[in-house]
Amino acid sequence: MSKLNIGIAGVGGRMGVMILKDILGRDTTMVTSGLVRTGSNLVGTDLGTLASIEPIGVAMTDNPKACFADADVVVDFSLPEAIEELAEAAVDQKKPWVVGTTGLSGKEEAILRAASEKIPVVFASNMSLGVNLLFALVEQVARSLDDNFDIEILDFHHKHKVDAPSGTALTLGEAAAMGRGIDFKNSATLSREGVVGVRTKGEIGFSALRGGAVVGEHAVMFASTGERLELHHKASDRSIYAAGAVTAGLWVRDKSPGMYSMKDVLGIKS
């Protein structure tokens, strides 16, 4: 199979640079475009410079349609406010789109779903193999344990992360709710403050910690009166997310329109 030409939306960010280096380090992939925000001082700069290597002859752009036009697949770790413009470009160019951007609003998620009716979209709050296995395990445990086991979810990230709870934590909560057969929005308590009263049976609680340079840690606790089961995942290097995103790009290259997850990419059965 020929090399996959990948574009990167949000290439100027920390994850964008990690994805760039992952693509350049593989024999099966090439980077053919890099998108930065409008007016960025990186526009026109060679992507090789960003990766701290020799120029590769590909300059960064702030034009979404150009980014998609030059690529077979675009991997997106930009910002939620860019989703609408990127969706328009993806559909216009009829290119697969891998989205790892977190903190999306209901409207922005709806834009993704609408785009997936016309192009293949892989959307995941976290693209690491271990975390996606954790999603499946949480769903299975929640299905096996009744609501005498309270569910609490903890996420811990670096001080620069802007959304809380994290997208990964929310997806863990959704997995738990699916396992229990309950509605996530009606059972989730995203934060607690003041006199909150007795814990509601069936509640899925969240706590978010932010500080230092923590890449990402998540824990799901199932606590009953006499015992507690804890499932943990700790990331020590962002390269796991970049590797997962590029793997998703390779997988989605020949797929039909639809909304896919990393469970689909990795063949994980619920």
Same domain membership, residue 220 and residue 139: yes
Q: N- to C-terminal Cα distance for the chain?
A: 30
pLDDT tens-digit map of 56-77 = 999 999 999 999 999 999 999 9
Same domain membership, residue 242 and residue 231: no
Residue 48 near residue 56 (C-beta atoms within 8 A): yes
Active site residue 161: yes
| pLDDT class of 210 with cuts at 50, 70, 90 | very high
Same domain membership, residue 138 and residue 9: no
Domain count of the fold of the chain: 2
For residue 261, the model assigns a pLDDT of 92
For residue 125, the model assigns a pLDDT of 81
- CATH number of residue 54's parent domain: 3.40.50.720
Q: Which two structure tokens, joined as six digits, stand for 160? A: 């620069």
Give the SS3 label for residue 184: helix
| Range(s) of the domain holding residue 172 | 129-235
Q: Which two structure tokens, joined as six digits, stand for 33? A: 């475009």
Give me the mean pLDDT over the 80-100 stretch. 97
DSSP state, 199?
A: P
Active site residue 157: yes
Catalytic residue of the set 95, 157, 218, 233: 157
Same domain membership, residue 79 and residue 41: yes
pLDDT tens-digit map of 143-168 = 999 999 999 999 999 999 988 999 89
Catalytic residue of the set 118, 158, 161, 255: 161
Length of the chain: 270
Please state, as a whole number, how many other Cβ atoms lie within 10 Å of the Cβ of residue 159: 9
| Amino acid in position 109 | E
